[in-house]
Chain A
Amino acid sequence: MSVSQALPGPHRREMDPYRIGHRHGGSGGGHGHPTGHGEGGPAPRNVVVAYGFWIFILSDIVMFSAFFAAHAVLQVATAGGPSATVLFDPSHVAWETACLLLSSFTCGLSAVATRVRSLLWTEVFLLITGLLGAAFLLLEAQEFASLVARGASPERSAFLSSFFAVVGCHGCHVTAGLLWLGTMMAQVYVKGFRPNVLRRLLCFNLFWHALDIIWVALFTIVYLVGLGR
């Protein structure tokens, strides 16, 4: 706590006067901030932005949970077509997982580099993140192509429809994340570490880590549990 106080300006932590558990009146002097609207003023921008984006991520996860529920129910509805055991290759999934996990890690390192305002290392780690993300998408496209080539296309059975829906939806998110990542690299390069660019970087970090969290649920429920059925 005291360390963060010692840090210079941009590292300073800002407060939300309306946070839950906020104490009325404070410890002394009677000049504490009221929890209602008014005197405390709005919360600092980066708290509001990050919290709002957190809400978006959680709603996105709720949307994914519907896809997951559909897939979990339809996993056995193969309509006489190929099942998960025949179709999925655990080692292929393991490579995809490794790519995404490592990209999440390098994304975190880029956040550390951003924190010390190192333009070079931020760009380098963002680039590695993007390359790993692209490798993940390539592996996924390969898998989809091989499934379709073996006659396991989305229209074959309810199981395959829900499989392509949930995995494809995650793939779309990764694609959008890659576009965002490219944009952020350009913005950091052209605009430097402006406050608004920093906020966008923070949101991008949240988004990319959230994609990895969804992938954890995905490889568990769709692939590993599916292989066991």
Chain B
Amino acid sequence: MSEGGNNEDPEMGDVGPGYLEAAGEGIGAGIRGYVIGLALAALLTAASFYVESTRLIWAPGIPVALIVLAVAQIGVHLVFFLHITTAPDNTNNTLALAFGVLIVALIFGGSVWIMAHLNNNLMPLPQQMLQMQR
């Protein structure tokens, strides 16, 4: 590297998301990363569709298994396709992602949680009230 001092120090640098150059890989390594990502993603997708169709798994456990597989596949996409890493130069990207995940978890999880328990907090209908008074 030419002059620029600390600017060129890779330890000090920062990269945006999806920045292939950051990995410091050759073409072969770049392609290999995508191939590994595709293989893992295809495997997890196939597993999801299998879990849905099979009767081997206890039925109430299927949604949980599907969500676990989806989260794993999203992780694969983030690492192999979007090149989000835990390296120091990715701190900003990872923090933004963590915040996004927090908001998504609040909106999605919160909505499902609240709506599933909505009836518990409602005043019973008049007919039900009568039954309760008996």
Contact = CB atoms under 8 A, between A and B. Distances in A.
Interface in B16-73: 16-25, 27, 30-31, 33-35, 37-38, 41-42, 45, 48-49, 51-53, 59, 62-63, 66-67, 69-70, 73
Interface in B68-94: 69-70, 73-74, 77-78, 81-82, 88-89, 91-93
B96 A54 contact: yes
Contacts of B51: 224
Given A108-B34, A224-B52, A115 B20 contact: yes
Interface stretch (A19-27, A133-141, A167-175, A188-196): A19-27
Interface of B: 1, 5-25, 27, 30-31, 33-35, 37-38, 41-42, 45, 48-49, 51-53, 59, 62-63, 66-67, 69-70, 73-74, 77-78, 81-82, 88-89, 91-93, 95-97, 99-100, 103-104, 107-108, 110-112, 115
Interface of A: 1-5, 7, 10-16, 19-23, 26, 31-33, 43, 46-51, 53-55, 58-59, 61-62, 65-66, 68-70, 72-73, 90, 94, 97, 101-102, 104-105, 108-109, 111-112, 115-116, 202, 205-206, 209-210, 212-213, 216-217, 219-221, 224-225, 227-228
